[in-house]
Amino acid sequence: MDRADIFSHPDSKWTEGLGPNADIVISSRVRLARNIQNIPFPYLLGDDKEGEILNLIKNIIQDPDFKEKVGIFHYLPLSELTPMERWVLVEKHLISPQHAQSHGHKGVVIREDEAVSVMINEEDHLRIQCLLPAMQLNEAWHLADEIDDRFEQALDFAFDKDKGYLTSCPTNVGTGMRASVMLHLPGLVLTRQGYQIFATMSQIGLTVRGMYGEGTEALGNLFQISNQVTLGLSEDDIINHLTSVTLQVIEQERHARGILLQEAKEQLEDRVWRAYGILSHARILSSQEAMTLLSELRLGIDMKIIKEIDPKVFNVLMVTTQPAFLQQKSELELQPQVRDIKRAEIVREKISSYSGGD
């Protein structure tokens, strides 16, 4: 993979769709916030210091021992990326929306398989993110820990023996860890059980957000559940708690799907096949309509109502139907109407290719 592939191909490690509970859990993510000792937090940095941190990270990832131990990374200064390229990285979940909109000397390093990305000079000096498919929180944590250890061999991170890792935002002090899972929960939404479950999350130290994190909406029945508390808990505590709650939500989603199949089978099948029909033949699709219909198609695939289509089509189209990716692929800035036409064309092609062309 070279730099151009990052922007032209929708596939990332998390889009593989393989692993435990992959029919409900789209991805598992662990992010570690780290700051370098004796350097002000990013919001207090001048251009010189920001550039110094970028060069530090660039030199670390180019070290032969680093490459041998944790893989080959591509270094991307955000100042050299177009606004469209930045938003492609957001749509692939490799950087945050806040990072994409930032100014100054910011950057990201991305491992070749796109399972690991490190945002530089976002809210903290480093934000190490590991993103894996399906229910693999423990695996994501161990990978993040390994990457963290490699950086810590070259950098002196800001750490207090009582408080833990020191971060720009007080809510990240301690482990500096945010762990999250992205869940596809159409059953809970259609049976109106989801909102009651989500309302209780804050009471147990978790939060529910949309598909791009804080401040975003839950398109396509996709929800992110993540921890809120980092101080006073170990990394294993955070992972185990989120895992336990996620497994309960998965059980509730399976139960809700069972109710739909038992009590409203004809309505469910009609909904699924209508979605399939529109997606297979539509000539114009808005982003929101595409995500809604793709969610219903994915539900039909997972419940064996539709048997000929690979469920991975949902993960891939989550990226390829987004506005920035569409425009980057076309190498043009498309007007909304043209974008909607192009989106429908891509959806038709992908559904055909993932169903063997039938």
Q: What is the mean pLDDT of residues 211-225?
A: 74
CA atoms within 13 A on the CB side of 115: 21
86 assigned to a ligand binding site: no
Same domain membership, residue 154 and residue 132: yes
127 assigned to a ligand binding site: yes
- Residue 23 confidence (pLDDT): 96
150 assigned to a ligand binding site: no
Q: What is the mean pLDDT of residues 314-342?
A: 90
pLDDT 10s digits, 270-297: 999 999 999 999 999 999 999 999 999 9
Decide: helix, strand or coil at residue 268. helix
209 assigned to a ligand binding site: yes
Is residue 269 scored above 70 in pLDDT? yes
- Residue 229 confidence (pLDDT): 81
280 assigned to a ligand binding site: no
1 assigned to a ligand binding site: no
Chain CA centroid to CA 208, Å: 14
Same domain membership, residue 234 and residue 140: yes
H or E, element range at 209: strand 206-209
Query: C-alpha angle 295/296/299, rounded to 5°?
Result: 90
Same domain membership, residue 330 and residue 214: no
Domain boundary among 223, 256, 289: 256
355 assigned to a ligand binding site: no
* CATH number of the domain bearing residue 54: 3.30.590.10
125 assigned to a ligand binding site: no
- Residue 262 confidence (pLDDT): 95
Same domain membership, residue 311 and residue 213: no
31 assigned to a ligand binding site: yes
Same domain membership, residue 331 and residue 211: no
Same domain membership, residue 169 and residue 91: yes
Same domain membership, residue 350 and residue 209: no
Q: What is the mean pLDDT of residues 128-136?
A: 98
30 assigned to a ligand binding site: yes
Question: Which domain, by its residues, includes 316?
Answer: 265-354
Compute the distance between CA of residue 88 and CA of residue 91 in angstroms, rounded to an integer. 5
Compute the distance between CA of residue 47 and CA of residue 273 in angstroms, rounded to an integer. 55
Same domain membership, residue 300 and residue 216: no
pLDDT 10s digits, 112-129: 999 999 999 999 999 999
29 assigned to a ligand binding site: yes
Q: What tokens were used for 318?
A: 């989550």
- Residue 137 confidence (pLDDT): 98
Measured distance between the N- and C-terminal CA atoms of the chain, rounded to whole angstroms: 31
343 assigned to a ligand binding site: no
Same domain membership, residue 281 and residue 241: no
210 assigned to a ligand binding site: yes
Same domain membership, residue 194 and residue 96: yes
Decide: helix, strand or coil at residue 69. helix
- The strand ranges marked E within 78-204 are 107-111, 116-120, 126-133, 159-160, 164-165, 177-184
- In this prediction, residue 305 has a pLDDT band, given cuts at 50, 70 and 90, of very high
Compute the distance between CA of residue 231 and CA of residue 241 in angstroms, rounded to an integer. 14
Average pLDDT of the chain is 92
Domain boundary among 212, 232, 256: 256
Same domain membership, residue 47 and residue 175: yes
277 closest CA partner among 190, 337, 351, 353: 351
The domain tally of the chain equals 2
Residues present in the chain in total: 358
pLDDT 10s digits, 57-86: 999 999 999 999 999 999 999 999 999 999
Q: pTM value?
A: 0.93
182 assigned to a ligand binding site: yes
Name 158's Cβ contacts closer than 8 Å, sequence gap at least 6.
34, 35, 36, 37, 38, 165, 166
Domain boundary among 256, 277, 295: 256
Same domain membership, residue 251 and residue 176: yes
